[in-house]
């Protein structure tokens, strides 16, 4: 597992993709959560959401009032290098209530991580995030890596 230092690994590199894939490959359909309510298959589907939004596959952001509140009060905590705390509330569009096929969701998440790497920094620099508005490359990197890392740690990998 990559160590988190002052900065997260660069998700736009093959090394970060390989590290995340290796961590994903340690999961099994029976891997228990160390905290939270999601099962591992639900977590994998949930972890796909920010990548799908970033890549333009989803556009189900919050209502305008909630968007403003999140942008004003949560942009920095969501895009800085401080790891997320356990048991944070989940945005409604990120909730996965039904069970999913473990292998399918793992493959989907791996594909989205690789698509993000391949799109690269130029694609993401200044790109708008559905809730937070335009982000620079570092903010995109932190947002995507931090969320994925948080949930992999939730399942002990």
Domain boundary assignment for the chain: 14-81+89-154
CA distances for 63 relative to 9, 25, 70, 93, 95, angstroms? 32, 36, 11, 11, 16
> Which of 15 and 94 is assigned the larger pLDDT?
15
* DSSP-derived secondary structure for 24-53: HTT--TTPPPSSSS--HHHHHHHHHHHHHH
Per residue in 57-91, pLDDT (tens digit) is 977 776 777 767 777 778 898 899 999 889 777 77
Average pLDDT over residues 83-107: 86
Q: Among 140, 104, 63, which Cα is nearest to 148's?
A: 140
| % of the chain exceeding 90 in pLDDT | 72
Residues 135 and 127: beta-carbon distance below 8 Å: yes
Lowest mean pLDDT among 16-30, 80-94, 120-134: 80-94
CATH architecture of 14-81+89-154: Up-down Bundle (1.20)
| 57-72 residues labelled b (16+ CB within 10 A) or e (exposed) | eeeebbeeeeeeebee
**What φ, ψ does residue 78 adopt, rounded to 5°?**
-80, -20
- The whole-chain average pLDDT of the chain stands at 90
């Amino acid at each position: 597992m990559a160590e988190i230092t002052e900065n997260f690994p660069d998700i736009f590199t093959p090394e970060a993709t390989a590290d995340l894939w290796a961590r994903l490959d340690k999961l099994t359909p029976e891997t228990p959560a160390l905290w939270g309510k999601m099962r591992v298959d639900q977590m994998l589907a949930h972890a796909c959401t920010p990548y799908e939004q970033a890549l333009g596959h989803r556009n189900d952001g919050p209502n305008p009032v909630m968007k403003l509140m999140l942008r004003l009060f949560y942009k920095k905590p969501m895009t800085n290098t401080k790891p997320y705390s356990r048991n944070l509330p989940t945005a409604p569009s990120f909730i996965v209530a039904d069970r999913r096929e473990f292998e399918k969701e793992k493959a989907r998440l791996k594909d989205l991580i690789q698509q993000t790497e391949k799109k690269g920094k130029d694609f993401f620099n200044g790109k708008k995030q559905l809730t937070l508005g335009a982000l620079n490359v570092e903010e995109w990197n932190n947002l995507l890596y931090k969320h994925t890392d948080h949930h992999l740690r939730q399942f002990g990998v």
